[in-house]
Structure 1
């Protein structure tokens, strides 16, 4: 009898250790785990051993409003996307993730919390003035981003002149050292890079005709229960002015929050 009980207990412990497709809560109150790619200053970046940025401060206010415990881990872009999709290690991802129809097939998203667009970065004196001018040029982007998608459409699939990097830092550095004619990334990242490198004569180009506005959202595994907890909190901090304070801290201007509340 005791042998059977021991075997059953051992089997139960084994199944408990191996089973389930949700991140472990560690017992008691759930600590929600967020993945991020901390190479997107000013959205998220590393300050020594700490992740800082707009997304991080925004998330802190959202989780405070929702009354939930959480932690954020720097994982890198591709690892974040895959881990969140699988839903085995992380409950969600936050890292300037644009909401797209293609991504909606693999993830659920929070309501939009940030309006963005892609921007072209060139050196002063460049003949490039818009996205169409990038045809026939060497262009750097971060792989698996909307910049990658847009430039693939413009330059053609498998075009070897479209240089894809693991993160935006590497893509922007490739322009700095002369390996490409231009780099394309989210406007906040490009503007931050220009601000931090005033002596390098970089120019940021907006092309609203070819680069439409896009919205960031928190990414969840499909059918995540966390979305329903965070959407009301996001809406509340946008409406009560908390969001605007975080936005002004990082960007020095007031946001147009009506676009966030009305975005589909």
Structure 2
């Protein structure tokens, strides 16, 4: 092969590799046991509010994404070690979490609710004194329970998912569950025979969800914020919100 042809071939190969690398989808860690934010459909694909939101953000931000179901405990570890580029899993923005990850602009307002049986007399957080409560490990509900009971309290039972925590409540293993409003409301709507009700304690603060990237990844964060701003501006966000939560 002539020297010029060899050089041309190398240039084409290099451009092809660079293009393929540039178009690599960003991996998004999401915990698919948190409907309606994220769950698995019959094809084992991640679907839900966060999934739709990430695809819409990516389309407007000029990148593509691949959503990967990841246990909650592994989400931030995966982000730190490079196994995941993004975490989109109904993650509440907190100052403690800001120490290890960077967050997008807020995209959802939430708060904690207490779930109890229909016959329970619990009307506020203080009424849970001396009762056992279930939470999902490492979530804001866990943080609220720790503040109320103490970090090492035996009255806090921790589970890998909210679904498991709610099953424990239904089986009588605990007296209450503390969790995000969106997910527990969705659970009660889809499980009308569960005989559960929600308690809204006025002491619970409003929370905001954010999309997380590895600390210092300003370029990716800028793309996400660009896409998020665009879907809020053109009405796409409102349509996705209405699909899962109504108007």
Structure-1-length-normalised TM-score: 0.83
Report the alpha carbon displacement of residue 26 of structure 1 after superposing the two structures with TM: 6.3
Query: Hey, what does 1:3 align to over in structure 2?
Result: none
The question of whether the paired residues in 2 share the 8 Å contact of 1:134 and 1:155 is answered with: no
Q: Deviations over 1:197-225 (max 9, x none)?
A: 1122210111132x111000011110112
The question of whether the paired residues in 1 share the 8 Å contact of 2:30 and 2:88 is answered with: yes
Query: Hey, what does 1:56 align to over in structure 2?
Result: 51
Structure 1 residues 167 and 90, CA gap change in structure 2 (3 angstroms) = same
Q: Number of aligned residue pairs: give it.
A: 227
Report the alpha carbon displacement of residue 236 of structure 1 after superposing the two structures with TM: 1.7
Query: Hey, what does 2:79 align to over in structure 1?
Result: 84
RMSD: 1.2
- Measure, in 2, the Cα distance between the counterparts of 1:206 and 1:37: 25
Q: Deviations over 1:96-130 (max 9, x none)?
A: 00000000000000000000001110010101111
Structure 1 residues 76 and 165, CA gap change in structure 2 (3 angstroms) = same
Q: How does 1:108-119 map to 2 (within 5 A)?
A: 108-119=102-113
Query: Hey, what does 1:216 align to over in structure 2?
Result: 209
Query: Hey, what does 1:149 align to over in structure 2?
Result: 143
Query: Hey, what does 1:182 align to over in structure 2?
Result: 176
List gaps (5 residues or longer) in structure 2: 1-18
Following TM superposition, the consecutive aligned residue runs of length 4 or more in structure 1 with deviations greater than 4 angstroms are none
- Measure, in 2, the Cα distance between the counterparts of 1:26 and 1:102: 37
Report the alpha carbon displacement of residue 27 of structure 1 after superposing the two structures with TM: 2.6
- Measure, in 1, the Cα distance between the counterparts of 2:124 and 2:184: 15
List gaps (5 residues or longer) in structure 1: 1-24, 254-264
- Measure, in 2, the Cα distance between the counterparts of 1:134 and 1:239: 43
- Indicate the SS of the match to 1:137: coil
Report the alpha carbon displacement of residue 152 of structure 1 after superposing the two structures with TM: 0.4
- The counterpart of 1:45, out of the listed 17, 39, 60, is 39
Report the alpha carbon displacement of residue 171 of structure 1 after superposing the two structures with TM: 0.7
Query: Hey, what does 2:156 align to over in structure 1?
Result: 162
Q: Deviations over 1:221-261 (max 9, x none)?
A: 101121011112111211221100000000112xxxxxxxx
The question of whether the paired residues in 1 share the 8 Å contact of 2:62 and 2:223 is answered with: no
- Measure, in 2, the Cα distance between the counterparts of 1:136 and 1:116: 27
- Measure, in 1, the Cα distance between the counterparts of 2:79 and 2:20: 18
